[in-house]
Amino acid sequence: MANTKSAKKAARQTVRRTATNKARRSRMRGSVRKVEEAIAAGDKAAAQVALKEAEPVMARTAQKGMLHRKTASRKVSRLAKRIGAMESA
């Protein structure tokens, strides 16, 4: 348990940050999952719409430090490449 005043404050901050970070990570994973599901279903239009919604979420997550910016960029690029490879139905 924290003994000093500063350690107690740090513990409080950690609890708040953890909650915020969990929400951000969950939002990002959910948006990526929607893209993945649309790709798996073979629905190119839905996948494009889902990617358009997921991209800013991932960029924001990277901007907040939850994810490296190049990792976010790579993930977006790979999803876009998979959507581009789909046959338009």
CATH architecture of 5-85: Up-down Bundle (1.20)
Contact between 38 and 79 (Cβ < 8 Å): no
Q: What is the mean pLDDT of the chain?
A: 94
Which tens digits make up the pLDDT trace of 37-63? 999 999 999 999 999 999 999 999 999
Tell me, what amino acid is at 82?
R
Q: In the chain, what are the domain boundaries?
A: 5-85
DSSP 13-34: HHHHHHHHHHHHHHHHHHHHHH
Please, which residues have CB within 8 angstroms of residue 44's CB and are 6 or more apart in sequence?
Answer: 83, 86, 87, 88, 89
